Amino acid sequence: MRKEVIAIAANDIRLLLRDKGGAFVTFIFPLVYCIFFGLIFATPSMSSRTINVVMVDEDQSQQSTAFIELLKQSGAVTCNIASREEAIDQVRRAKKVAYVVITKGFGQALQQVQFNKRPKIVIGIDPARQAESEMVKGLIAKYAFELLFSPLNQKLSGGITGNQRSAKNHFAPIEIETAQLRQKRTGPSNSYDISFPQGIIWGVLGCCASFGISLVNERTTGTLSRLLVAPITRTHILAGKALACFTSTLVLGVVLFVVGRIAFSVIPQSPIHLAISLLAISIAFVGIMMFISILGKTERAVSGMGWAVLLGMAMLGGGMVPRFLMPHWMQSLSAISPVSWAIKAMEGAVWRGFSTSEMLLPWCVLVGVGLFFFAIGVRGFSWPDKG
């Protein structure tokens, strides 16, 4: 790499640091975001929205089938059927909020409810969704109670028994066991494991916007014209801009994770995966920065259009509201946002425990996005005349 490229990159970084507003949005605001939402997520709250779960029917009885139908018809949950292994994997990959296992013997035990041998249901909760844990348990208990006194169960059990009446009086017709998912995989140790990737995204977006707008500023103020008469090429100039944006986003991610490690116990499961994720994220948003620079001819136009694009990516990709709080259709749609893949890459390295093969998809998507948008930006960039 030639010294001219490094000199251009160093100068752009100095200009960013001199801009107090830009420096705040890029470096300070993300940390404020991390802490603020970390505090919010640390406090469990109930939610009235539909919960996406996966059901495991190991009993295969009339009662277990009826129980699943009750849950589906309630409107409180959306669910599909899978094996226990598949269910655990779906929750680990954040595709489902929880899995519910109807254990073998559920139907028979429901016909003869005894306090020393009640029907058993196992619930596994995604560690990032602890706020929904009690809601899932409450829904399971409610509809199991309804099933106990349903016409179907009364018919199969020959009417309401004394034990069932006792269960009705004590409001405990089933046994609910919470699976210890952390024995299977390590979940987030605290709420900051969730908020820090989101906060870092805002810093990356700030870098992306700042360097994209500065590129337009240099074109409109004549800086690029002066650079073009210097003994450097257009390739050197764009490489320097790209290096400045890449370095800033990478340093931002590293610094915030160091702060998270020291002050908030954000400990990555795989530092190597995290390092590669930050590299891939930097590549992706360098490309997006270049694309933003061609969205208008003036700073104001590029600033407005650029932030509109970036905020759209953030809203859809989980930068504003965590993806698990979004409606199911929006979670599916978020795959088109680079922000979604960036957060997934960081979470996979920090607390989701993704293997290298599982990390390959977000890495490849991010690098592909960066190369694609950088190529479009370079091709569409409007250079001033020399002189």
At residue 77, φ and ψ (nearest 5 deg) are: -135, 155
- pLDDT band of 216, cuts 50, 70, 90: very high
Are 28 and 60 members of one domain? no
The pLDDT, as a whole number, for residue 46 is: 41
pLDDT, residue 267, reads 92
Q: Look at residue 275 and tell me if it is in a domain.
A: yes
Question: Rounded to an integer, what distance in angstroms lies between the CA atom of residue 8 and that of residue 85?
Answer: 53
Residue at a domain's end among 135, 156, 183: 183
Confidence at 68, pLDDT banded by 50, 70, 90? confident
Please state whether beta strands 120-125 and 98-102 pair in parallel, antiparallel, or not at all (unpaired): antiparallel
Domain count, the chain: 2
Sign of CA dihedral 266, 275, 315, 327: negative
pLDDT in tens, 262-318: 999 899 999 999 999 999 999 999 999 999 999 988 888 898 889 889 988 998 898
In a shared domain, residues 29 and 173: no
- Report the share of the chain in percent with pLDDT over 70: 80
127-131, 164-168, 184-188, 369-373: range with highest mean pLDDT: 369-373
225 & 353 share domain: yes
Domain with 75 in it: 51-183
Confidence of residue 56 (pLDDT cuts 50, 70, 90): very high
Same domain, 226 and 327: yes
* Long-range contacts formed by 303-306: CB under 8 A, 24+ apart: 303/209, 303/213, 306/208, 306/209, 306/212, 306/213
pLDDT of residue 167: 46
Kindly state whether residues 176 and 234 are assigned to the same domain. Answer: no
**Which domain-ending residue is among 183, 207, 241?**
183
Q: What is the pLDDT of residues 307-340, one digit of tens each?
A: 889 988 998 898 887 776 677 778 888 999 999 9
Is residue 24 situated within a structural domain? yes
> DSSP code of 44?
-
DSSP-derived letter for residue 262 is H
User: Between these two residues, 151 and 292, which has the higher pLDDT value?
Assistant: 292
158 and 201 belong to one structural domain = no
- Average of pLDDT values for 111-132? 70
95: domain CATH number?
3.40.1710.10
Average pLDDT taken over every residue of the chain:
82
**Can you give the pLDDT at residue 37?**
64
User: How many Cβ atoms are within 10 Å of 363's Cβ, its own excluded?
Assistant: 21
Residues 8 and 104 in one domain: no
pLDDT tens, 244-254? 999 999 999 99
Q: pLDDT class for 183, splitting at 50, 70, 90?
A: very low
Among residues 380, 377, 341, the alpha carbon closest in space to that of 242 is found at: 377
Q: Which domain-ending residue is among 183, 201, 226?
A: 183
Higher pLDDT, 79 or 113: 79
Of residues 52 and 21, the one with the higher pLDDT is 52
The answer to whether residue 365 scores a pLDDT higher than 70 is yes
Amino acid identity at 24: F
Q: Is the dihedral of CA 285, 311, 22, 202 positive or negative?
A: negative
pLDDT over 80 at 112, yes or no = no
For residues 151-180, average pLDDT:
57
More confident of the two residues 111 and 41: 111
